[in-house]
Amino acid sequence: MIHQKLTGLVTATHTPFHVDGSLNLDAVEHQALHLSKNGVKTVFIGGSTGESSSLSLDERLALCGRWAEVIRGTPLRLVVHVGANCLSDARTLATQAQKLGASAISALCPSYFKPRSVAMLVECCEEIVRDAREIPFYFYDIPALTGVSLSMPDFLASAKDQIPTLAGLKFTNPDMMSYQLCLRADGGRWDVPWGIDEHMLGALALGAKGAVGSGFNFAAPIYNRLIAAFERGDLDAAREEQFRGVRLIQLFVSYGYMGAAKATMKMLGVDVGPARLPNNSLTREQTAKLRGELVAMGFFDWVK
């Protein structure tokens, strides 16, 4: 198994829909071109930003197949989120991702019937990767959405001998104490890309080398400048870029994050369509108001 760590910006992509709510797989090519032009080298598909819990298994398989087709022969790397409440579905998605040559897979835990212990979580992950033994696996810790808050340092300690393909964690959890323990566990063995855009600078200061985020769809230049400023020791500039990201998130949340993010993608020339319920989509009036606020804060200059 060949494993390259997830460094730099890893974009958690939107799933594109037609106006009627059906998959719009033709849009994937436009997404890939947009991200490549903005310095993104890795995509993370079918995750929370990709509305995976609102997709059928067939739709998720089709989405992965399309992304694999579009990026074949390009520098873009593909990470596929395969987590599901049904572990059989997750295993099917993991097997497909391996067959299509994805760089890695990731899975959040079942969240309706929840694993109540680290041991049970490890068992769930073992089941997911059972037929995908040749592709790196990242557990996706996002307790705010799953409602499952288990110790990730304990998970790494327990899973390392039971899941040979375990590469690390997608750490979407504001517990920075736990994050440090994971980064340093087993002599720094694990790859732990950060997963909360608005805390990215703090994670870099603690040792993060990569980040998975939805904001990189529409604001990759901001976050690339943030990383560059941090690496050259210009913390004032890094803080300014981080705060731009925070202002964007605050604005989008006021409209409903998913709908506002997708509307902004269309403003940038990449139409990924509406959001699916229970996420909201913006009305024409809301979209016009959002555009005005983005212009006023300088957003379109920030992302040039």
| DSSP per-residue codes, 140-171 | EE-HHHH-----HHHHHHHHTTT-TTEEEEEE
Using 50, 70 and 90 to split pLDDT, how confident is the model at 1?
low
What percentage of residues in the chain have a pLDDT greater than 70? Answer: 99
Could you give all domains of the chain from N- to C-terminal order, each with its CATH number? 8-240 (3.20.20.70)
Instruction: Give the active site residue among 138, 140, 179, 223.
Output: 140
Answer for the pair 6, 241: CB distance below 8 angstroms, yes or no.
Answer: no
Count CA atoms within 13 Å of residue 23 on its CB side: 22
Using 50, 70 and 90 to split pLDDT, how confident is the model at 20?
very high
Give the pLDDT score at 3: 82
Cα dihedral 129→29→244→239 (10° resolution): 60
- Burial class of residue 112, CB neighbours in 10 A (0-12, 13-18, 19+): exposed
Strands annotated E in the chain: 8-12, 42-45, 77-81, 104-107, 137-141, 166-171, 210-213
Is 170 part of the annotated catalytic residue set?
A: yes
Mean pLDDT to the nearest integer, 24-51: 98
Q: What would the two tokens of residue 137 be?
A: 């696996």
Mean pLDDT, all residues of the chain = 97
Distance between CA atoms of residues 224 and 269, nearest Å: 20
Residue 292 CA to chain centroid, in angstroms?
Answer: 28
Which residue has better confidence, 2 or 239?
239
Instruction: Give the active site residue among 112, 114, 160, 170.
Output: 170
Q: Tell whether the model's pLDDT for residue 91 goes beyond 80.
A: yes
> CA Rg, the chain, in Å?
18
Give the pLDDT score at 79: 98
Could you tell me whether strands 77-81 and 42-45 are parallel, antiparallel, or unpaired per DSSP bridges?
Answer: parallel
Q: Tell whether the model's pLDDT for residue 57 goes beyond 90.
A: yes
What percentage of residues in the chain have a pLDDT greater than 90? Answer: 99
Is 140 part of the annotated catalytic residue set?
A: yes
DSSP 29-80: HHHHHHHHHTT--EEEESSTTTTGGGS-HHHHHHHHHHHHHHHTTSS-EEEE
Distance between CA atoms of residues 288 and 41, nearest Å: 32
- Tens digit of each residue's pLDDT (9 = 90 or more) over 96-153: 999 999 999 999 999 999 999 999 999 999 999 999 999 999 999 999 999 999 999 9
Task: Tell me the CA distances in angstroms from 227 to 60, 129, 154, 156, 233, one per residue in order.
Answer: 32, 33, 30, 27, 10
Mean pLDDT to the nearest integer, 73-92: 97
Q: Is the pTM of this model over 0.85?
A: yes
